[in-house]
Each structure stands twice: as structure tokens, then as C-alpha cells.
């Protein structure tokens, strides 16, 4: 069985090495005595502080918030997937809507970044999602389809299933609003249909999908397992280590429940 995924996107919200250390020491304290064997927590700090993530608690992994689409060379200010890999990073968020907005990243660039990340054995967490405007004009499906087709076109099945596809409606990010469970489920079904057409039904089932946008522990079930998702990507709430551990524990409990044999009926 696949593990659950909990991606903590700390964005540009940690302002000093000291703050990063405090965060990690709180995280270690909160996670003490916990056993996260069926949920994978991925901490994605600002790149400057990746080196602080050496002794993460069990079940936690090192992630980055972005990477460039070239391996090395004259690209001032960029960080390559190879550099991340060489620094012990395992996951990288790509195509986040904030990068698409402020960095003018296109679907083509996101694709190039994904390919290079895969080449260097980083697990890409690729974000797709519609804007409020696109949703209003009922263009959600078209936008998601375009983003997905561009991303998966020409990939081998092995490459495709390495991608963690994160559905993050832009209007739900940092907004305290989120789609209904049925709406997320609809996106899940649509994504499966596209992947079935591009590859096959078995592959479509294997590609793991996450939800992101205003996720909190209070409604974690609604946006994850009830919506057919395999995990979440969390911004604001991931700044609180106790919330991170709380959500990881909810996933762990859920996995435990699912793996237990059903209790026999009274008649047996
Ligand atoms: P949020 O951010 O949880 O603050 O809405 C999610 C994200 O941008 O990945």
C-alpha cells in the first residue's frame, strides 16, 4: 500500500537560521514517541536552510520548494535538481501557482523542470490548479487538462508514476476556503480519465494525487481520503509543528484502521 503524503511548504516564511532551528526543535519535540511508518512527511524550507534539516524525526524527509531546468551553468541565482540531490533532498515542489504567478513559469518550463528532477532521482510534487476567474468561467477542466497533458506527454510509465500530482486550486491557497469534497473528487476522476487515455487504467490508478489549499487538521478527512486523494500539501498550517504532527498522526491512524481486518459480525 502506498504511504500517505504530507508536504509542508514553508514558503518564504522562515526569516532566520535561528527561526529554522526553533521550528525543527519544536517539530522534534512534538514528534517524540510517534511512529510514522505509513505517512511520509516532507519539510520544504527556504533553500537557504536545507542544511539545517539533518536530523529530522522518523518519517520526515527533506524537500525543496523549486528547482531549475538545467543541471549547471551560467544561471545566476538558480538551484539545480542535481545540487538538491547532492544535498540529500528527496522531493521537490514544481510549478507551484506562486511560481507560475510571480516567476511567470509556463507549463513548458514546469515540464522541463520535472524531467530534470526525475533524471536526478528527485520525486517531483507538481502543482496544477485553476484561478478563481477560470473557475467562474467554468474552465477548470480545460485548464487542468492542458496542465496535465503538457506534464505527462512523452513520459514513460515509470516516470509518470514517480510524479506526485498536487491539485491546488489557486483561489483556495492561503484563503481559508476550499472546494467541496465532491469537487476534489471530480478532479481526481478527471485526472484518472486523462491518465488512462494517455497511458492506461493501471497507471492512472498508480499515480498518487494530493490536495493543497487552506488545509487544516479540522477538515483533513474531507480534502484527503474522503476526496480520493493520497495526501496533502500544506502552507500556512505547516508553520505550526503541532499541526504538522497532528495531521501526520491522523494519516497514520487512518492507515492503521484500513489495514486492520474487519471485525467479524455477531452471527459468525
Ligand atoms: P496554504 O498553502 O495551505 O497556506 O493555503 C498551500 C500551498 O500553497 O501549497
Q: Which residue among 105, 130, 161, 168 is the active-site one?
A: 168
pLDDT (tens digit, 9 = 90+) per residue, 116-147? 999 999 999 999 999 999 999 999 999 999 99
**What is the per-residue pLDDT for 262?**
60
Q: Residue 105 and residue 75: Cα distance in Å, rounded? A: 16
Nearest 5 degrees, angle CA 109-CA 71-CA 63? Answer: 75
pLDDT (tens digit, 9 = 90+) per residue, 156-214? 999 999 999 999 999 999 999 999 999 999 999 999 999 999 999 999 999 999 999 99
Q: What are phi and psi of 5, to 5 degrees?
A: -120, 135
The closest of 57, 75, 74 to 66, measured between CA atoms, is 75
Q: Verify whether residue 168 is a known catalytic residue.
A: yes
User: 215 CA distance to ligand 1 centroid (A)?
Assistant: 7
Q: Verify whether residue 108 is a known catalytic residue.
A: no
pLDDT (tens digit, 9 = 90+) per residue, 34-62? 999 999 999 999 999 999 999 999 999 99
Q: Does residue 266 carry a pLDDT above 50?
A: no
Best residue for ligand 1 mutational test, from 42, 93, 175, 236 (most atoms within 8 Å of Cβ): 236
User: How high does pLDDT run on average in the chain?
Assistant: 95
Q: Does residue 20 carry a pLDDT above 90?
A: yes
Q: Considering only CA atoms, which residue is closest to atom 7 of ligand 1?
A: 235
Q: Is 174 in the pocket of ligand 1 (CB under 6 A)?
A: yes
pLDDT (tens digit, 9 = 90+) per residue, 216-237? 999 999 999 999 999 999 999 9
**What is the per-residue pLDDT for 267?**
45
Q: Does residue 151 carry a pLDDT above 90?
A: yes
Going by C-beta distance under 8 Å and a sequence separation of 6 or more, which residues neighbour residue 209?
164, 165, 166, 167, 188, 191, 228, 229, 230
Q: Residue 238 and residue 261: Cα distance in Å, rounded? A: 33
**What is the per-residue pLDDT for 260?**
73
Confirm if 212 and 224 have CB atoms less than 8 A apart. no
pLDDT (tens digit, 9 = 90+) per residue, 72-117? 999 999 999 999 999 999 999 999 999 999 999 999 999 999 999 9
Q: Does residue 265 carry a pLDDT above 50?
A: no
Amino acid at each position: 500500500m502506498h504511504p500517505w503524503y504530507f508536504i509542508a511548504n514553508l514558503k518564504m516564511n522562515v526569516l532566520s537560521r535561528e527561526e529554522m532551528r526553533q521550528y525543527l526543535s519544536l517539530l522534534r519535540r512534538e514528534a517524540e514517541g510517534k511512529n510514522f511508518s505509513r505517512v511520509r512527511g516532507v519539510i520544504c524550507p527556504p533553500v537557504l536552510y536545507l542544511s539545517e534539516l539533518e536530523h529530522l524525526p522518523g518519517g520526515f524527509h527533506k524537500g525543496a520548494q523549486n528547482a531549475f531546468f538545467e543541471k549547471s551553468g551560467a544561471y545566476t541565482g538558480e538551484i539545480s535538481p542535481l545540487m538538491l540531490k547532492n544535498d540529500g533532498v528527496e522531493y521537490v515542489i514544481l510549478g507551484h501557482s506562486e511560481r507560475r504567478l510571480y516567476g511567470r513559469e509556463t507549463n513548458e518550463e514546469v515540464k522541463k523542470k520535472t524531467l530534470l528532477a526525475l533524471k536526478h532521482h528527485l520525486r517531483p510534487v507538481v502543482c496544477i490548479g485553476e484561478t478563481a476567474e477560470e473557475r467562474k468561467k467554468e474552465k477548470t477542466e480545460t485548464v487542468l487538462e492542458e496542465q496535465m497533458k503538457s506534464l505527462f506527454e512523452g513520459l514513460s510509465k515509470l516516470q509518470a508514476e514517480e510524479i506526485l500530482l498536487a491539485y491546488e486550486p489557486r483561489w483556495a491557497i492561503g484563503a481559508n476556503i476550499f472546494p467541496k469534497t465532491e469537487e476534489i473528487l471530480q478532479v481526481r476522476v478527471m485526472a484518472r480519465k486523462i491518465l488512462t487515455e494517455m497511458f492506461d487504467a493501471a497507471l492512472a490508478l498508480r499515480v498518487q494525487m494530493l490536495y493543497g489549499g487552506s488545509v487544516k487538521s479540522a477538515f483533513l478527512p474531507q480534502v484527503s481520503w474522503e476526496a480520493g486523494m493520497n495526501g496533502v500539501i500544506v502552507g500556512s498550517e505547516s508553520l505550526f509543528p503541532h499541526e504538522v504532527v497532528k495531521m501526520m498522526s491522523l494519516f497514520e491512524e487512518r492507515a492503521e484502521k484500513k489495514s486492520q481486518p474487519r471485525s467479524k459480525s455477531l452471527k459468525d
